[in-house]
Amino acid sequence: MGASDWIQDRTKFSGPPAREARFSLAARAFAESQLRNRMPSDGGAGCPIVVEGKRDKEALRALGFEGPIELINRGWDRSRLVAYFYDTYGTRNTIDGGPPLMLLMDWDRTGGRIQTTLRDRLNSLDVPIDENLRRVLLRTMKPEGKTVEALAPFAKTLMPLIEDQFDRM
């Protein structure tokens, strides 16, 4: 492999083209999640997205989420929180028949533990969880940060891509 081959090969995985591809994948996942999150009166399923704290909620609002956003850091223990989610949202989303909750914890070690704990406890009550957005962000946005709130500075870049995804849906 010559030097020019190495440079050409390397550009496939780093630099702007790779970032554009990653942001495009993230935008598609955001658009799909936003559609589920929108209230039924706006054409969505009213599916709440669960995040850790206020800054995460602010970041999602900056990224265009308009529907319900639930916080886990509200002074409740995990058992009370899980019982609240079960009592409030049930075991199925009545609009689209999908999981009643989307979990989006940070993709750092602590966020992973919280995600696993909530998923396992809710699954034990036969409550399925939509984790697609977190799974995609874990792969695509890791270089930009490991938290939901770290996405806020990228809202201006991501919003046109998200809107483009809505046009394709």
- List, for residues 48-65, the tens digit of each pLDDT value: 999 999 999 999 999 999
- Residue 92: left if φ>0, alpha if ψ -120 to 50, beta else—which one? beta
Q: Is 82 within 8 Å of 120 (Cβ atoms)?
A: no
Domains of the chain: 16-168 (3.40.1360.10)
Q: What is the pLDDT of residue 14?
A: 46
Instruction: Tell me the pLDDT tens digit for each residue of 85-98.
Output: 999 999 999 999 99
Q: Select from 56, 51, 48, 57 the least CA-distant residue to 72.
A: 51
- Full-model pTM: 0.86
Cα 164 to Cα 46: distance, rounded to the nearest angstrom: 22
- Give how far Cα 110 sits from Cα of 18, 63, 105, Å: 28, 23, 9
Instruction: Tell me the pLDDT tens digit for each residue of 7-40.
Output: 344 444 444 468 899 999 999 999 999 999 999 9
Q: What is the pLDDT of residue 13?
A: 43
Instruction: Tell me the pLDDT tens digit for each residue of 123-143.
Output: 999 999 999 999 999 999 988
